[in-house]
Structure 1
Amino acid sequence: MNDCLFFGQNQFPNLFKNKPNTNKIIKPIQFKFENENENENENENENENENENEKQIKQISSGNFSTIFLFENGKVIEYLNQNDSKQNPSKIQIEENIQKVTVGYENEAILTIEGNVFAKGRNIIPNNPKEFINISSLIEDKNDRIIQDIVSGANSIYLLTSNQNVYGIGSNEYTQLGVDAETLYKTEEPILMMKNVSKIFSGSNSFHVFLLNSNQELFGCGYNGFGQVGLGKLTKIQNIPKGKIIDIQCGSTSKKKTLFMWI
């Protein structure tokens, strides 16, 4: 299995080989999954190499309440972030192979190779926040239901379709879905935000989002208390230096209201 290191607040007491005595880990330490049946003797298990390949971690996505691990074999497990000595990982049962996971402050989303998105969260499914549902199937245009990418904000999820359209679902309290909050406070069905989009940028604690179109024009919407998205509603960001935008990192709304852009 590939090595995974962790440091910071210890919300995963069952995850470490040598359980630390503190809830804060200053130096990175290695962790493993307690439900793995590791075999010290390589000759005792003929399928050990094959099993090890299936344990290779492809991606980790973490938010305030949960962390999801995606493995190379397209399977995922979830940890709830809580100090519980009896806590064990929960396998997420989705039949399709998974290519990406994303976790926000109050939501989780999973993108499958087939282009379907399964999501859960209080602001996504208020009546059943612990169960995953296929939110891509809720897109009104049936020809636009193959999803290419997903990104989580703090309490919203953004879907980029194969037709380069972006849909948003969840909370719109800060106009982070591109619509005036007085008109639409939240939605449990994806709404079309913008067309001709190549990339989406947001963060697990962000109440704002940025959309980059195929012409390298950048648009933003959401919380604007510190001027990070211009006018709040979906707005073209001005005064960007000439060059190609490579990446954007969004900070949170409450403490670090920062935006970093690579061009």
Structure 2
Amino acid sequence: MNEILFFGRNKYPKLIKNEPNLITKPIQFKFENENENENENENENEKQIKQISTGHFATIFLFENGKAIEYLKYSKQNPQKIQIEENIQKVTVGVENEAILTIEGNIQNDRIIQDIVSGSSSIYLLTSNQNAYGIGSNEYGQLGFDSETLPKTEKPVLMMKNVSKIFSGISSFYVFLLNSNQELFGCGDNRVGELGLGESRKEYYITELTKIQNIPKGKIIDIQCGYLHSIIKLYSCGNYKFNGLVKNKGIYEFTEIKSSLFKNDDNILDFSVGYDHTLILTSNSKLIGFGGNLYGELGNGDTNDQYIPIQIEIPKLRFNDNISNYHISCGYNNSFLYYSLPPSFPILKKI
């Protein structure tokens, strides 16, 4: 029952054998030894994709039965394939790290870990008592401390209390924390305004959690972070080459992305940000993208960067009537569009 489309760099690791290193249009991804004539109802839940997390050197496919397959860079031709047999709830991959959250939730300071998020070289933990912890590199202040005081840590350090959500990205050296009052805080790399702090805050590194004042109105549900740009729904900031705002300078506060491709009746179902590209899926089955495209990661058939939003032609989807159950996962320089079961029918128990 899997439907997975892949496009972008097919190398480090090489995920699809007998295909070129650059795949510039979406093609069907199949797991090794997957039989197209196999009875689709047989062990359906064990084969159904729940989540895909892909970074620079690794990609993890998580299934609804709590098992996972990880592909690691092994050689120029073949990846190392690892079966993970734990009861897994979520996986997250960065450039220099990865983390796996099991159904038991793991334990941090006698509290259950409810969520894990990867930055490029850091991992963030959210516990059941709404405490946010950071672990790993603090080179850019992405753990909320001065890098000279705390260059890195192998043990989780408390960043902030009363946190409802954490947002970072596979190639990001910065992080956003959202509290229960919908107040947004950020710290870390801010070289081209990717924290959205405004023109008055142009410091390269923000080494303490700072409140973001100019954020879009309405409830924040998701933020996606790239290397040098950030996206909140149809608002963006950061490097002009990647943020979709068609301006020849960095944007230092969140600004609305305007395009004829977005209409009032276009509901954004899902969006994802990779290293320098963004993909957006709408309720009328449009796939829209912008940003870096050196490896074909936008899936529009070429390798030219796109500074303004473009519509990407995708093959006919098997479950097009259930378009709201499709998700996007942008990697370092590749992309996945995949179908997963509706969240109202979980296989695993929630913590």
Tell me which interval the TM-score lies in, with the shorter structure as reference length: 0.7 to 0.9
- Distance (Å, rounded) in 1 between the aligned partners of 2:156 and 2:223: 24
CA RMSD of aligned residues (A): 2.1
Residue 128 of structure 1: aligned partner:
none
- Checking the alignment, whether the CA contact within 8 Å between 2:223 and 2:230 is kept in structure 1 is yes
- Checking the alignment, whether the CA contact within 8 Å between 1:170 and 1:187 is kept in structure 2 is yes
Residue 174 of structure 1: aligned partner:
140
Out of 157, 171, 184, the position equivalent to 1:191 is: 157
Kindly indicate whether residue 54 of structure 2 is the aligned counterpart of residue 53 of structure 1.
no
Residue 7 of structure 2: aligned partner:
7
Say if 1:178 and 1:72 are closer, same or farther in 2 by CA, change over 3 A.
same
Residue 80 of structure 1: aligned partner:
72
- TM-score, with normalisation over the residues of structure 1? 0.78
| Alignment map for 1:212-227 (pairs within 5 Å) | 212-227=178-193
User: Matched residue of 2:42: which SS?
Assistant: helix
Quote how far apart the aligned CAs of 1:158 are.
0.4
Quote how far apart the aligned CAs of 1:14 are.
5.7
Quote how far apart the aligned CAs of 1:13 are.
4.1
Residue 103 of structure 1: aligned partner:
93
Say if 1:86 and 1:65 are closer, same or farther in 2 by CA, change over 3 A.
closer
Quote how far apart the aligned CAs of 1:241 are.
4.1
Opposite residue 90 of structure 2, the aligned amino acid is K
Quote how far apart the aligned CAs of 1:101 are.
0.7
Residue 230 of structure 2: aligned partner:
259
| Alignment map for 1:126-165 (pairs within 5 Å) | 136=107, 139=108, 141-142=109-110, 144=111, 146-165=112-131
Opposite residue 235 of structure 1, the aligned amino acid is T
- Distance (Å, rounded) in 1 between the aligned partners of 2:179 and 2:38: 53
1:181-228 alpha-carbon deviations (Å, 9 max, x no partner): 111000000011000001111000000000000001000011122233
Out of 216, 222, 225, the position equivalent to 1:250 is: 225
Out of 53, 61, 82, the position equivalent to 1:90 is: 82
Structure 1, unpaired ranges of 5+: 43-47, 117-135
Residue 54 of structure 2: aligned partner:
62
Quote how far apart the aligned CAs of 1:93 are.
4.1
Identify, as 1 or 2, the structure richer in strand. 2
Residue 103 of structure 2: aligned partner:
113
Opposite residue 220 of structure 1, the aligned amino acid is G
Quote how far apart the aligned CAs of 1:39 are.
7.8
Say if 1:107 and 1:39 are closer, same or farther in 2 by CA, change over 3 A.
same
- Checking the alignment, whether the CA contact within 8 Å between 2:172 and 2:225 is kept in structure 1 is yes
1:132-187 alpha-carbon deviations (Å, 9 max, x no partner): xxxx4xx4x22x2x011111000000011111110110001111001111110000
- Distance (Å, rounded) in 2 between the aligned partners of 1:6 and 1:83: 20
Aligned length: 224
Quote how far apart the aligned CAs of 1:87 are.
3.3
Residue 306 of structure 2: aligned partner:
none
Say if 1:187 and 1:259 are closer, same or farther in 2 by CA, change over 3 A.
same
Q: Percent of aligned pairs with the same residue?
A: 68
Residue 123 of structure 1: aligned partner:
none
Kindly indicate whether residue 198 of structure 2 is the aligned counterpart of residue 208 of structure 1.
no
- Distance (Å, rounded) in 2 between the aligned partners of 1:214 and 1:260: 20
Residue 244 of structure 2: aligned partner:
none
User: Matched residue of 1:53: which SS?
Assistant: helix
- Checking the alignment, whether the CA contact within 8 Å between 1:67 and 1:81 is kept in structure 2 is no
- Checking the alignment, whether the CA contact within 8 Å between 1:153 and 1:204 is kept in structure 2 is yes
Say if 1:237 and 1:98 are closer, same or farther in 2 by CA, change over 3 A.
same
1:96-128 alpha-carbon deviations (Å, 9 max, x no partner): x11111101111111112112xxxxxxxxxxxx
